[in-house]
Structure 1
Amino acid sequence: MEHKKTIVVKVGSSLLANTERLTPRWAFMHHLMEDIARLRESGAKVILCSSGSVALGLNTIGERPETAGLRDKQAAAACGMPLLLNAYKQVAHEYSFEIAQVLVTLRDLEDRNRFLNTKNTVDRLLDANIMPIINENDTITTEEIRVGDNDRLSAKVAQMVQADELVILTQVEGLFDKDPADPSAVLVEEVTDVSPYLAVTEGVSSLGSGGMLTKIQAAHMAQNAGCDTRIADGEIERPVTSVLNGERRHTKVFADKQPASAWANWLTDRLQMAGSIVIKAAAATALEDGPQNIGREDVISIQGPYVKGDVIHVYDESGKELARALTNFSSDETMALARNVEISALQLLGYKTGGTLITDKNMIVLSDRHLQWDLPDGNDMTEVASSG
């Protein structure tokens, strides 16, 4: 049986909303939805990750992008979401297909059960031949608990549905080797390793929350899952198919030939750091041979707060990130256990437990394929002064 491609398309606010008037850019939406209809008619499953609700709602509450605060953006999202979905629905009906809205928060993607529940919803919509439109729920999220950009959200969605292609539409042709405003800048058309380009991808648009850095980070997450990523200009009559068919210039980030498992990708490709621990040299050395149990006696310092079941980052004393793993205890419980290694876990916590902080089956030791996160600032770390 012929494999039917699954394609995730991400579009940003600057393509969907007029910068000055903050109204829908209908011409772009028509080009986009007509092109998606072509893909669907060819048998592809398409998921759209769309920004735009905040930008489209700002007029309603009398604000501008440059002056809007968090509460303004939350209110604007509430006003703009029905405008955005109504626009999409009107255009989709012209091309005879149905859409559905899926709003997510950071916890929906970082918590395993909620991640799987979201996946089940998206899969069911695709089975019914309905195109999911996924966006972060900006109405209820705060800066501390939000995904932060729809580029990386789209990569998590690509991982979730095991997509073949992630197409990120923006207002430039793709990744350049320096600031695109520089006349000497050269388009990078093919990328296998994103690391060399991270330092030259800063800056964000006036309407969006992400720049080229978040697009490259998203591409890296997608390639870990075996998904190719295309970064391209969206201001084209056939914005998606012309890229997939190789008809115009863009940046292609190639998928890893041996992608990690869905579990490993969920565990390692985080959107935010819930917390971290620094472990002693002997425990760090042991991880060179693969995942190992981490005991309370192995911990030097802790950064939180985090809760049981969160994914935490594991560092050595030099600040090198070694692994990411599910924690068996909250940060407060971890601190109590690590500071009192001579006292039983039952006595400290009030319930029976072996006291192992991390088990090897819930750990991924980082490899060259992973982008390491810097160790949190020392002021955020709490030293373990064990009485043992």
Structure 2
Amino acid sequence: MSNQKRIVVKIGSSLLAHSQQLTLRYAFMHGLLSDIARLKEQGYDVVLMSSGAVALGLNAVGKTPEDAGLLDKQAAAACGQLLLLNAYKQVAHEFGFDIAQILVTIGDMEERRRFINAKNTIERLFENGIMPIVNENDTLTTEELRVGDNDRLAAKVAQMIQADHLVLLTSVDGLYDRPPSEPDAQFIERLEDVSEYLSATEGTSVLGSGGMLTKLQAANMAQHAGCSTIIAEGIIERPLLSVLEGERRHTTCVAMGTPASAWKVWLTNRLQVAGSLILNQKAAEALCADPTPIAHTDIVSIHGNFHKGDILHVYDEQGREIARGLTNFSSEEVLVLARHPEASTAELLGYSAVPDVITTKNMVVLKENHLPWDVPTDDHQVVVTL
């Protein structure tokens, strides 16, 4: 693990692009990169998570944010990436540092080998004093295969590089206990349990794909990776330093002490559900009391079409998510094992294997302060009740 101080900064589309003209807001970009240059001088490694490519490319394809379809957005992203990175490169050179671009898909974050490859690339860029600019590869991803918001993607990158801080710059000054337009809305300066304020997170910007909900989800992911999250307004002058030095108000979601191992943090913090299992209540209660391997005889139903090595979400019969873990079998294999509990793995599958569907070393029992995913539904999934 590096002893270097590290920050991930996420910038939304509405801060980089004018909502009407869909052109770059150079004044904001100058203020942002000026602050990043100062942070680098102070010994920080910085990763910039930057939206904006789709918004900046919409003029080229003759579309607006309201009427652009998926193919329009993919084409706009291809056009906008050139504008965005060229501007970043020019401004960064003014402040004496260089940049690099890393485009990722959800598979790069969810598949362990590709996750490590991305981490190694970022580490090598840091070694050479180059700031990575990361974004989802919007030219290739489809709706069902994309992260969908850079807030949670930024949290995954913060987890990846073991960052000290995740800074989410947005169009508001932080979190309120209800929509800030409502009378008597109270500002929240410090937050430990994000679940208390999920009801106050409705709405997204015209240009962005995320709202306050995705920011709290990102903050929760970062908390469990030992990283604090700052939610603040993206002002033009000193947008980062004025927050980090306590000159203006913002919301801080505090880190939850020493994180678990990097392996277990990766297992726990997911961006997408590959599949899920529902355990009988007795097995679920036993698992929470004293983590033990999940056997095929514990399973009540199987959701999704998953593969060996995917991360599954585990629920009890009351719909409460209790664990996440890496499966030793595909959904088809789990189904065969569960329907023939007396037969051996070799007899049923044609090869010898440990019969546990998920072993304890590849599983994390969720803490109460970890945001759960909703219990799986029957929509668009393979569901088998045993």
- Output the TM-score relative to the length of structure 2: 0.96
Name the residue aligned to 1:294: 294
Q: Is the 8 A contact 1:147 1:272 kept in 2?
A: yes
Alignment of 1:209-220 (within 5 A): 209-220=209-220
SS at match of 2:357: strand
Q: Is the 8 A contact 1:48 1:132 kept in 2?
A: yes
Q: Partner letter of residue 342 of structure 1? A: E
Pairwise CA RMSD: 1.5
Q: Partner letter of residue 155 of structure 2? A: A
1:170 correspondence with 2:170: yes
Distance (whole Å) between structure 1 residues aligned to residue 203 and residue 106 of structure 2: 23
Q: Partner letter of residue 374 of structure 2? A: D
Name the residue aligned to 1:15: 15
Q: Is the 8 A contact 1:291 1:361 kept in 2?
A: no
Q: Is the 8 A contact 2:305 2:382 kept in 1?
A: no
Name the residue aligned to 1:258: 258
Name the residue aligned to 1:148: 148
Q: Partner letter of residue 382 of structure 1? A: V
Give 1:112 deviation, angstroms: 1.0
Name the residue aligned to 2:69: 69
Moved more, 132-141 or 294-303: 294-303
Name the residue aligned to 2:104: 104
Name the residue aligned to 1:353: 353
Give 1:346 deviation, angstroms: 2.6
1:314 correspondence with 2:314: yes
Give the gaps of 5 or more residues in structure 2.
none
SS at match of 1:132: strand
Query: 1:278-308 deviations in whole A, cap 9, x for unaligned?
Result: 1123321221233211121111100011111
Query: 1:49-90 deviations in whole A, cap 9, x for unaligned?
Result: 000111111111111111111111111111111111011001
Alignment of 1:320-335 (within 5 A): 320-335=320-335
Distance (whole Å) between structure 1 residues aligned to residue 248 and residue 90 of structure 2: 29
Q: Partner letter of residue 356 of structure 1? A: D
Distance (whole Å) between structure 2 residues aligned to residue 278 and residue 180 of structure 1: 39
Distance (whole Å) between structure 1 residues aligned to residue 6 and residue 256 of structure 2: 17
Distance (whole Å) between structure 1 residues aligned to residue 31 and residue 183 of structure 2: 30
Q: Partner letter of residue 79 of structure 1? A: C
1:45 correspondence with 2:42: no
SS at match of 2:187: coil
Q: Is the 8 A contact 1:301 1:381 kept in 2?
A: no
Distance (whole Å) between structure 2 residues aligned to residue 199 and residue 143 of structure 1: 25
Name the residue aligned to 1:90: 90
Name the residue aligned to 2:384: 383
Give 1:48 deviation, angstroms: 0.3
Distance (whole Å) between structure 1 residues aligned to residue 57 and residue 291 of structure 2: 48
- Output the TM-score relative to the length of structure 1: 0.96
Q: Partner letter of residue 15 of structure 2? A: L
Query: 1:185-224 deviations in whole A, cap 9, x for unaligned?
Result: 2221111111111111111110010001111111111111
Q: Is the 8 A contact 2:27 2:236 kept in 1?
A: no
Name the residue aligned to 1:80: 80
Q: Is the 8 A contact 1:338 1:384 kept in 2?
A: no
Name the residue aligned to 2:54: 54
Name the residue aligned to 1:180: 180
Distance (whole Å) between structure 2 residues aligned to residue 30 and residue 290 of structure 1: 53
Q: Partner letter of residue 202 of structure 1? A: E
Distance (whole Å) between structure 1 residues aligned to residue 375 and residue 177 of structure 2: 28
